[in-house]
Amino acid sequence: MENILYAPWRDEYVTNKKIEGCVFCHISKHSDEDEALHVVYRDEHCFVVMNKYPYTPGHFMVIPHTHTDKLEDLPQENWLHITALAQKGVRLLKEGLGAHGVNLGMNLGEAGGAGIAEHIHLHLVPRWQRDTNFITAIGHNRVYATDFEKIYKKIKELSQKYLLK
């Protein structure tokens, strides 16, 4: 028996115009498009953006403005800033969104599993007890239990309290 899953938020993926070049550099340079690009926060060192195809609701990334695929070449000041934002982001997800836990991760290079290998980025993935099931492991699909735009607005609102401290 064949199952068909409908994911209407993915329609934009196949019908929307593609960003040429590095998508993260595009987001970095276009602060006037923050709402459309789902940017939660930005400062002189980096920005925080929602993952467009999240693992769980609230999955976002901390990304340096510096275009590099080598963490080892990133200025230490930028790395320390990214980790400080990650620490605040974990608090945001736990206290503000009610996550039971958080996965942090960087996939460095294509061989390391990076979907966008040319520009390093740190994932923050909120987790809840029993948030995985057979559909991900066996069906290679994810069930997203809430509206992406609703979660984006909530995280953006929470960023004022947690990321600006």
Q: Is the pLDDT of residue 11 over 90?
A: no
Q: Is the pLDDT of residue 7 over 90?
A: no
Percent of the chain with pLDDT strictly greater than 90: 63
In whole angstroms, what is the distance from residue 90 CA to residue 155 CA? 12
Enzyme catalytic residues: 121
pLDDT band at 1 (very low <50, low <70, confident <90, very high): very low
pLDDT band at 28 (very low <50, low <70, confident <90, very high): very high
- Residue-wise pLDDT for 96-121, tens only, equals 999 999 999 999 999 998 889 999 99
Please name the residues in contact with 117: beta carbons below 8 A apart, sequence gap of 6 or more: 69, 107, 109, 110
pLDDT band at 6 (very low <50, low <70, confident <90, very high): very low
45 close to 63: Cβ distance less than 8 angstroms: no
100 close to 3: Cβ distance less than 8 angstroms: no
Give the amino acid at 77.
E
| Strand ranges of the sheet holding 46-50, from the earlier edge strand across to the other edge | 39-42, 46-50, 60-64, 122-127, 101-105
Give the amino acid at 7.
A
All domains in the chain, ordered by first residue: 8-162 (3.30.428.10)
147's tokens: 């509206």
- pLDDT higher at 132 or 159: 159
